[in-house]
Amino acid sequence: MADKEFIVNSKKDYIETIIPLKNIFSRTFIMSLILIYILSPVDFIPDVFIPYGFLDDLVSLFFLFKIGLKTWRENKRVFFKIFLFLFLLTIFLIITILYFFMN
């Protein structure tokens, strides 16, 4: 029995854990909010204050990376789906911001 389990597990190069759907939605929502905050021109600390202005963006980027890394370790397929959604959201936000600033 143990040999059979070893053969089945040796075909996978990683172990996937099942992430509940509510956790996937909450992670996607939180990561989306962080990404919108990073890309938006409105910050808690304005970027005019050079060393401190970028600090809130770096902290936000750290939390985005931390949530993404946790998702990557648990389930790579879910990570790629969230990453694709965030990538498309980023493109949409950049186009929207450029459109409003050009007019």
What's the pLDDT tens digit per position in 23-79?
889 999 999 999 988 888 788 888 788 888 888 889 999 999 999 999 998 888 899
Count of domains forming the chain: 1
**Does residue 60 fall inside a structural domain?**
yes
| pTM of this structure | 0.73
How many residues would you count in the chain?
103
**Does residue 12 fall inside a structural domain?**
no
**Does residue 3 fall inside a structural domain?**
no
Domain that holds residue 59: 19-102
pLDDT digits over 79-93, tens only?
999 999 999 999 998
**Does residue 61 fall inside a structural domain?**
yes
Say how far apart CA 28 and CA 85 lie, in whole Å: 8
**Does residue 83 fall inside a structural domain?**
yes
> Angle between the 55-74 and 21-39 helix axes, to the nearest 10 degrees?
150
**Does residue 82 fall inside a structural domain?**
yes
**Does residue 29 fall inside a structural domain?**
yes
**Does residue 11 fall inside a structural domain?**
no
3-state secondary structure of 84: helix
